[in-house]
Amino acid sequence: MLTNIEFNKSLKKYISFSMNVYTKYFIKINKLDILYKIFDHFKSLPIIILGNGTNTIFLKDFLGLIIINNIKYISFIKKNKYYYLHVGSGINWNDLVLYSIKNNIYGLENLAMIPGKVGAAPIFNIGAYGLEIKNICKYVDILDIKRRKIIRFNKNKCKFKYRNSKLGNLSSRYIIIYLGLKLPIKWKPLINYYKLKNINIKKCNPRYIYNFISNLRKKNIPNYKKINNSGSFFKNLTLNKSKIIKILNKYSNVPYSLISKYKFRIPTGWLIDKCDFKGFRIGNVCVDSNNSAIITNYGSINNDIIFLIKFIYYKIYIKFNIKISLEVLIYFYNNRINLNDIS
């Protein structure tokens, strides 16, 4: 029996953008075996499993079932030159980072304070301050509900890309259950990212880096528990050499980084800034006045956010001849939409 199903539940508390939309059915889970019962019971309805809802927006009520994943488990072994961690997908990412530091396992500190759960981390190949999941992932264990079987995707099978992976295209019958990480026992600080240039090399230890990055994040990213937001709304851009040269000819101070011989990355927040959107507001949604990559929500209805996204998209296209894409997942009723659908 599924006794803890709730009906017509507001998602406001479960989505960091915090729009007042409802889901027809809602359940929180902390054990794996209940998933079979849930999928049997709701097999004719759309189902979405969420972690902390920090990369998801619903524009309209969801006419299906939302599952909140609280499956918590962590273990690790030490073998040869590495630590191997096996982590349940319902653990908060930052709790994992703190747990590893407490157990003298280092290498996650650059990913301090990312507010999602472990399950979504490989889907988006989360990254910050020079480190991405793809650098440390060993495997992802996925439950195939239909075949009642756990399948292991090793790192190569995940096909990690910038804020993306093959895991994002799997249907809802596949649930990420565990993430396997591989971290060298011998720790080397990862501090060549340009925003870490003020790190005091003499003080440099994992806890210091964790605190340093946490402080930077507190200054640059609004706390979503106080100001509703979904982190960077758009993906940063990967550009080829001729494109970056064109921009450099006009703006010599573009903050770009080299990602391969011919590919460069520039922050989309910088483009948004250059289009004078800093602090720009439509209705109750606003481009953050401190960090233009972030859109904040002061109680919007869905039209506000659609207008704002369209406006930003077209202005950047007209000024730079560049098409930007969403980092946040947007649902319209039961379907995921992208910028082409709304532009």
Q: Is 44 a catalytic residue?
A: no
Using rule CB under 6 A, residue 136 touches ligand FAD? no
Q: Is 6 a catalytic residue?
A: no
Using rule CB under 6 A, residue 48 touches ligand FAD? yes
Using rule CB under 6 A, residue 52 touches ligand FAD? yes
Using rule CB under 6 A, residue 121 touches ligand FAD? yes
Using rule CB under 6 A, residue 265 touches ligand FAD? no
Single out the catalytic residue among 16, 18, 89, 232: 232
Select from 50-58, 147-155, 200-208, 248-256 the region that touches ligand FAD (CB under 6 A): 50-58
- Helix (H) or strand (E) holding 171, with range, is none
Q: Is 327 a catalytic residue?
A: yes
Distance in Å, CB of 48 to ligand FAD, minimum: 5
Q: Contacting ligand FAD (CB under 6 A), which of 26, 38, 39, 51?
A: 51
Contact 329, 50 (CB under 8 A): no
Using the structure block, give the residue that is written with the tokens 């919007």.
300
Using rule CB under 6 A, residue 117 touches ligand FAD? yes
Give the DSSP per-residue string, 243-303. HHHHHHHH-TT---EEEETTEEEE-HHHHHHHTT-TT-EETTEEE-SS-TTEEEESS--HH
- Number of residues counted as binding ligand FAD (CB under 6 A): 32
Distance in Å, CB of 105 to ligand FAD, minimum: 20
* 302-305, long-range: CB < 8 A, 24+ apart: 302/19, 302/59, 302/60, 305/57, 305/59
Using rule CB under 6 A, residue 54 touches ligand FAD? yes
- Helix (H) or strand (E) holding 321, with range, is none
Nearest to 53 by CA among 21, 86, 8: 21
Q: What CA–CA distance (Å, rounded) separates 335 from 251?
A: 39
Nearest to 31 by CA among 90, 84, 116: 90
Using the structure block, give the residue that is written with the tokens 């072994």.
77
Q: Contacting ligand FAD (CB under 6 A), which of 18, 23, 69, 296?
A: 69
Distance in Å, CB of 111 to ligand FAD, minimum: 7
- Binding positions for ligand FAD, rule: CB under 6 A: 16, 48-56, 69, 89, 114-117, 119-121, 123-124, 126-128, 175-176, 221, 224, 229-231, 329
